[in-house]
Amino acid sequence: MERVYHWLLAFLPEVHRKKAGEASVEIATVVSSYMLGQLITSLLCGVYVFTILSILHVPNAALLAVIAGVFDILPLIGFFLAIIPALIVAVSISPVAAVLVFVLYGAYHLVESYFIVPKVYGDRLRLSTLTVLVSCMAAGLVAGVVGAIAIFPIVASYPIIEKIWLRRHLEADTVIKHDQIDAEEHPVH
């Protein structure tokens, strides 16, 4: 991997290689944080689904929880891909169980979308809740599921690009002001 990185870096003019090296290290950290955040949200989803399906005595709760955790990676569409098999299995128990599964999955989806995802990604990627929600919706509209998945590390990488590549094109104090705003919103503990 390191060899490929240096091979690709050689395509840049020599004056930009140092900046690219700095940016790539920081962006790799952002991408790692995103992947960890995704793992956290998928695990939370899987644990929740396993718990409610076990309480409702729905067969194959573990398998359905794994399916929900995997599909949790896909914004919006993942919810529907996860709930359909759970509803099919739950209806074999009773219509009441199917309705409860639908309501409880839906409730979790809302809580995850509006509270868990902004908190996890906001903290890990240093993004505000509003930035997480707006960027996910905009990327989903523009580029579909792939855009909604890829947008968080892209948006979180902007301050790195601004600091390393754009600083000389901005007003003198822009990066400093942005750093102050970031420090106020995400204090280091």
Residue of 125 and 163 predicted with greater confidence:
163
| Measured distance CA(29)–CA(165) in Å, rounded | 18
Q: Do residues 120 and 40 lie in contact, with contact meaning Cβ atoms separated by under 8 Å? A: yes
Q: What is the average pLDDT across 12-38?
A: 85
Q: How confident is the model at residue 54 (pLDDT cuts 50, 70, 90)?
A: very high
For residue range 108-135, list pLDDT tens digits in order: 999 998 888 877 776 667 777 677 778 8
Cα-based distances in Å from 67 to 35, 83, 135: 18, 9, 26
Q: Which of 78-87, 144-153, 180-189 has the lowest mean pLDDT?
A: 180-189
Residue of 107 and 30 predicted with greater confidence:
107
In the chain, domain spans: 16-185
H or E element at residue 9: helix 2-9
**Cα–chain center distance at 93:** 34
What mean pLDDT is reported for the chain?
86
Q: What is the average pLDDT across 154-181?
A: 80
| pLDDT above 70 (res 157) | yes
Angle of helix 129-161 relative to helix 14-55, nearest 10 degrees, comes to 160
Q: What is the DSSP letter of 169?
A: G
Is the whole-model pTM more than 0.75? no
Give me the pLDDT at residue 24, please.
86
| Measured distance CA(88)–CA(66) in Å, rounded | 16
Q: What is the average pLDDT across 2-7?
A: 83
